[in-house]
Amino acid sequence: MSTVWRRPGYEFEPAATPPLPPNAYASAEVFADEQQRLFAPTSGLTYVGHDLLLPQAGHRRADGDPRLLLTRDDTGAVRLLANVCTHACRPLVTDDLPVCRSTVLCEYHDWSFRRDGSLIGGRNIDFGSGADGTAVRDRLALPSFPTISWHGFHFAVDPHHADAYAADLARIDADFAERGIAHWLDLDGWVMASTHDDPYRGDWKMFLEVFGDCYHVPPYHPGLASFVDCGSIEWTFGENFHVQFLQLSSERGAKSARYADWMNGLDRYYALRGEATPHTAVAWVGVYPNMMFEVYNGLRVISVAVPVGPDQYVNRVHYCVPADMEQLVPGLPQAIRAAYDETVEEDRTLVETRYDGMLAAASLGLTGDRYFTNLSGPALEAGVAHFHDWWTRRLAQPVG
Ligand SMILES: [Fe+2]
């Protein structure tokens, strides 16, 4: 990789990026700072859900953020509201199921709100009439937060920089278009097959580090490394994201029966559709702070690493498959998921042992850096350096 990675409006110098300091991890103070500077809805760009999670008019909790509600009105417009009743501050919705109703109802005292957050009323309460009554109702509307949308993904956004964030997301489109796979970002014609939450020990940033580390794939993921060709890696970067593009390996999944099933199943699937199997194996898209979109040949995985404390987080995972795959090649969606899960289990060890090692280093009083990124050759850990660079810049900004 050249010393400086450049594109119009953005450049990144991996070798100039120091790793995060040891005290950036698993610290209560840093966690509180991150909640305010990275995860507050107006702090930057934060993923809150995808159209597949709220396909119809109604509402549901934001994906991975129980403090927020996503609503969709009859015109299809999506809004982001506080999931907190303005009567006495109780959460309005307490699970992640979509609610197909025109109002948001607080069950405790029957206060109800429209999908734009405006207050309709409450049980046996008079808010007054005329201008005074309107002012009271306005004050008691559910607070709403600005959003931007991209290929069905919805993000809470800092309204002062919404255009810059939208321009950054558009760079991902350009990167996919350059490789002839612009349509791979769309999930039209795909179904969400399943969702689950995986709890992890450690600091959420370690999960993003592993996501931006392709260095471990050849030695540690034999199955995956015989499905994707790590030698073909192409990195792209923007202010708030990185993408790794990899081609299919000529080994055709030979090191794992599950990955071989994936590869052979793809050939059958595309043949039955009268298409050639595309050469791209995967584009791993990381949108900071914590959203990952894994755009595989035959599988899409949306995941979000949700911090729940300084030393624990949950990775929420949504598997999406083409709507016609099970019918054309029965069992293939399940086979693909089994292969993917094989790699997930390997990664769990990888991500949690880094936390174990960080604790050991601290207890030994070691003062050295906790990461030395490999930027040689194809720079298989450039995504780690990029995430460290992003985090350092964002946490250095003044609050507000
Ligand atoms: Fe991995």
For residue 58, the domain's CATH number is 2.102.10.10
- Verify that 283 and 175 share a domain, yes or no: yes
Instruction: Name the one residue in this structure whose structure tokens are 């506080």.
Output: 82
Residues 60 and 180 grouped into a single domain: no
- Report the separation in Å between the CA atom of 256 and the middle of ligand 1, taken as the mean of its atom positions: 15
The domain total for the chain is: 2
Answer yes or no: is 229 within a domain. Answer: yes
Within-domain flag for 161: no
How many A from CA of 207 to the centre of ligand 1? Answer: 10
Identify the CA nearest to 246 among candidates 235, 260, 254: 235
Q: Do 356 and 231 have their domain in common?
A: yes
Q: Is position 154 within any domain? A: no
pTM: 0.96
131 falls within a domain: yes
pLDDT band at residue 106, thresholds of 50, 70 and 90?
very high
| pLDDT for residue 2 is more than 60 | no
For residue 218, report the distance from its CA to the centre of ligand 1, in Å: 9
Q: Are residues 32 and 65 in the same domain?
A: no
List, edge to edge, every strand of the sheet that includes 45-50.
Answer: 45-50, 153-157, 147-150
Range of the domain at 265: 5-39+171-396
CA 380 – ligand 1 centroid, Å: 12
Domain containing residue 308: CATH number: 3.90.380.10
Q: Are residues 49 and 35 in the same domain?
A: no
Q: How far is the CA of 294 from the centre of ligand 1 (A)?
A: 12
Distance CA 330, CA 250 (A): 25
Share of the chain above pLDDT 90, in %: 96
CA distances from 226 to 184, 262, 263, 313 (A): 22, 11, 10, 30
Q: Kindly give the distance from the C-alpha atom of residue 259 to the centroid of ligand 1, in angstroms, as a whole number.
A: 14
How many Å lie between the centroid of ligand 1 and the Cα of residue 223? Answer: 11
Residue 188 has pLDDT above 70, yes or no: yes
User: Ligand 1 centre from 336 Cα, in Å?
Assistant: 16
For residue 211, how far is its CA from the centre of ligand 1 (angstroms)?
Answer: 7
Distance (angstroms) between ligand 1 centre and the Cα of 128 equals: 60
DSSP code of 274? T
Distance (angstroms) between ligand 1 centre and the Cα of 96 equals: 28
C-alpha 217 – ligand 1 centre gap (Å): 6
Q: Please check whether residue 166 lies inside any domain of the structure.
A: no
**pLDDT tens readout for residues 254-311:** 999 999 999 999 999 999 999 999 999 999 999 999 999 999 999 999 999 999 999 9
Pairwise CA distance, residues 347 & 221, whole Å: 9
- 375 and 357 belong to one structural domain: yes
* Residue 156 lies inside a defined structural domain of this protein: no
Residue 83 and residue 89 in contact, taking contact as beta carbons nearer than 8 Å: no
pLDDT tens profile 112-166: 999 999 999 999 999 999 999 999 999 999 999 999 999 999 999 999 999 999 9
One domain, residues 349 and 224: yes
Span from the CA of 62 to the centroid of ligand 1 (angstroms): 27
- What is residue 398's predicted lDDT score, i.e. its pLDDT? 58
Q: How far is the CA of 220 from the centre of ligand 1 (A)?
A: 7
Taking the centre of ligand 1 as the mean of its atom positions, its distance from the CA of residue 230, in whole angstroms, is 12
CA of 118 to the centre of ligand 1 (A): 45
Distance (angstroms) between ligand 1 centre and the Cα of 379 equals 16
Taking the C-alpha atoms of residue 109 and residue 182, their distance in angstroms, rounded to an integer, is 48
Section 345-364 average pLDDT: 97
Provide the pLDDT confidence category of residue 177 given band limits of 50, 70 and 90: very high
Take residue 195 and report the two structure tokens written for it.
């969702």
The Å distance, Cα 346 to ligand 1 centre, comes to 7
For 168, phi then psi, to 5°, come to: -65, -45
Last residue of a domain, one of 147, 180, 209: 147
Q: Is residue 157 part of a domain?
A: no
**Would residue 164 be called left, alpha or beta, if left means φ above 0 and alpha means ψ between -120 and 50 degrees?**
alpha
The verdict on 307 and 340 lying in the same domain is: yes
For residue 351, the CA-to-ligand 1 centroid distance in Å is 9
Q: How far away, in angstroms, is 88 Cα from ligand 1 center? A: 45
- What's residue 1's pLDDT? 57
